[in-house]
Chain A
């Protein structure tokens, strides 16, 4: 079946550190890949997405590249801020249907000054 696996959290970093959150997927076919972010007390917001192999999604200093050969979509940021503290969800979906999203378990990031 289709599934998403994320690295377990929490991830704790100091401000301005480099961030990587690993995400790998299992899918029959070629899904679109997403990163959503959930700030404390809020719903999920789309952070970035990529729809085909080798695409790079980017937003707010975050980047992720769709790697078909390793079935991965790792999230990176060069210099994190305290305001980046949130839960990050990796997800996949297939176009042509109802865009049913399949989520990973989420990774909590805590950034300290």
Chain B
């Protein structure tokens, strides 16, 4: 089974803090994604990575950066957390093959910025 893990289920930070959210997948997938989930808005793509050290902006990258130093790990960084970044953050890893193209999601990190 594909397993995607996220470092924390719940996190509380203060405005202005630097925040790191970690995501690890154990299936050697090349593509990984970070989304945020907000009520009434569904999931929105923040950043994705198509290989080690490669990244692309998604639909809402402002206020975020990412790091992919190893294939299995994709980190989301909030350089200076703000209250409007309070949200649920979901990481996904993409499995591709001859008959499959599926994203697998981690359990999510609920971040509260005070």
Whether the Cβ atoms of A43 and B105 lie closer than 8 Å is yes
Taking the closest CB of chain B, its distance from the CB of A94, in whole angstroms, is 10
The size bracket of the interface on B is 20 to 34
A45 part of interface (Cβ distance < 8 Å): yes
Task: Name the contact of B105 in the complex, choosing from A44, A98, A99, A104 (C-beta under 8 A).
Answer: A44
* Other-chain residue from B43, B101, B102, B106 in contact with A89 (beta carbon distance below 8 A): B43
Do B42 and A99 touch across chains, with their CB atoms under 8 A apart? no
Chain B residues near A42 (CB-CB < 8 A): 107-108
- Size class of the contact patch on chain A: 20 to 34
A98 touches B48 (CB 8 A): yes
Alpha-carbon separation in the docked complex, A49 to B95 (Å): 15
Residues of B within 8 A of A46 (CB): 102-104
Q: Which of A8-42 contact B (CB under 8 A)?
A: 32, 36, 41-42
List B residues at the A interface (Cβ < 8 Å): 4, 31, 33, 40-45, 48, 50, 56, 58, 90, 92, 94, 96, 101-108
A-B contact pairs, 21 of them (CB 8 A): A4-B42, A32-B101, A43-B107, A44-B92, A44-B105, A46-B103, A46-B104, A49-B102, A95-B101, A98-B31, A98-B48, A98-B94, A99-B31, A99-B96, A99-B101, A99-B103, A101-B43, A101-B103, A103-B42, A105-B41, A106-B42
